[in-house]
Amino acid sequence: MSVRQPFVTMKGRKDGLVLVMDETCAFDALIQELKDKLSVNSQLYKEGPVTSVKIQAGNRYISQSQRAELMSIIRSFDRLQVDEIESNVMTREEYDREKSREKLVSVSRIIRSGQVLSVEGDLLLIGDVNPGGIVSATGNVFVLGALRGKATAGVPGNEQNTVIAASIMKPTQLKIGRFMSRTEEDNPIDEMKNDHVMECAYVDFSLEKVVIDRLHTVIRKNNLSLQLTKS
């Protein structure tokens, strides 16, 4: 029997483990070999220092369930944590979803009480959001008008680069990713200066909450790139 190239190659790096996976073998064989290789050092992975693991799958497509399987195997060793699973391949749908997240959807109408407008990507609304109306976007929300209703922007995990901006900012509720705020109560100082013109909401991670500031201050302070057309 000739010596075959191993399906899973483990590389130790300063920042953790990198697992390079063969692209052509069966996925089951890959799983088997991964289990075998990890169990050799199981003592270390169960008690040693916390190590981050990066998986490079190359040109192999990894489905959602396969992804979960890989995760669960690696997580069964207490000291290993999955950093990312990298693959060069994605399905058409995943690509479309990803792509739609980057587009800017512009709508011009008034969102009245009881109406809901939700889009994939950034939302540019030309018109008001009245109390009781809801706008939501998986990206940023920009309102050229008065925001008096509820606005939801971004998805959990991507709060860093997500903002809600409005010509007149008087929302009942704001939600950016997993951070929620009722503006009036959270920002008493904000209530004192009552013009609310050209304001922008973002997540301040040092405070762990949504804060509102003048748009230009936010851009300066956070170095946010408010690009409307990403590529």
CA R_g for the chain: 23
Query: Binder to other proteins among 113, 118, 160, 217 (CB under 8 A)?
Result: 113
Q: Which stretch binds other proteins (CB under 8 A): 22-30, 62-70, 77-85, 109-117?
A: 109-117
Which amino acid, one-letter code, is at 149?
A: G
Dump the DSSP string for 49-74: --EEEEEE-TT----HHHHHHHHHHH
**Least Å distance between CB 108 and other proteins?**
13
Residue 112 touches other proteins, criterion: CB under 8 A: yes
Spatial contact of 197 and 191, defined as CB atoms under 8 Å apart: no
**Closer to other proteins at the Cβ: 199 or 213?**
199
Write the binding mask 129 to 168 for other proteins: x where contact by CB under 8 A, - elsewhere: -xxx-------------x-x--------------------
Q: Which stretch binds other proteins (CB under 8 A): 34-42, 98-106, 124-132, 135-143?
A: 124-132
Site size toward other proteins, by CB under 8 A: 11
The distance of Cα 109 from the centroid of its chain, to the nearest Å, equals: 29
**Least Å distance between CB 21 and other proteins?**
53
Exposure letters 109-133 (e unless 16+ CB within 10 A, then b) = eebeeeeebebbbbbbbebbbbeeb
Residue whose token pair is 């692209």 = 23
Residue 100 touches other proteins, criterion: CB under 8 A: no
**Closer to other proteins at the Cβ: 48 or 114?**
114
Residue whose token pair is 């590389």 = 11
Cα–Cα distance measured from residue 220 to residue 99, given in angstroms and rounded to the nearest whole number: 28
Residue 196 touches other proteins, criterion: CB under 8 A: no
Please give the residue ranges that form the binding site for other proteins (CB under 8 A). 110, 112-115, 128, 130-132, 146, 148
